[in-house]
Amino acid sequence: MTVLTFRLNDDYALRYRNLTDEEKNAITNGCGAKGGFISVPNFIFRASCRHHDFNYWLGNTEDDRRKADRQFYEAMKRDAAMVRSFWKRLYYRAWAWIYYKAVTHFGVRYFNYADQQKTWEDLYEEMDEGYDEGDQYDGFPTPRI
């Protein structure tokens, strides 16, 4: 029996695109604060919101938070640009601006300020917390080729 292993390194960095759906669900929730008391509509921005959640979960410095917010706004503008109707594009661009301003003002408390960004190990520890005692998340990132 041959056991194949590979080391997680810079070639397979912790990136949103490398996560499985289960991993994404463990750390993202879409638009609005995770566990927040206000239900925020996703509109057409669900994927952009989830990616922004991931960047906030990764954390690190204030510059990283600002970068995550700018990327979020740019992603929502791209989402709005895909809408065929001119008036709906304007409508969604306005909502993109509102969401952007909301995260820049109120997102500070949800950002993971830390000495370094989170790692695959941090993700698996958090996923293990969601399982019953004795069970363990045995997922391993599968390289996308």
Per-residue pLDDT tens over the stretch 127-138: 887 655 454 444
Residues 6+ positions from 4 with CB-CB distance below 8 Å: none
Residues 6+ positions from 27 with CB-CB distance below 8 Å: 53, 54, 57, 123, 126
Q: How far is CA 71 from CA 8, 55, 58, 97, 129, in A?
A: 26, 10, 14, 12, 30
The per-residue pLDDT for 139 is: 52
Overall average pLDDT of the 113-125 stretch: 91
Mean pLDDT of the chain: 83
Q: What is the pTM of this model?
A: 0.79
Residues 6+ positions from 137 with CB-CB distance below 8 Å: 124, 127, 128, 130, 131
The per-residue pLDDT for 58 is: 95
**pLDDT tens track for 57-114:** 999 999 999 999 999 999 999 999 999 999 999 999 999 999 999 999 999 999 999 9
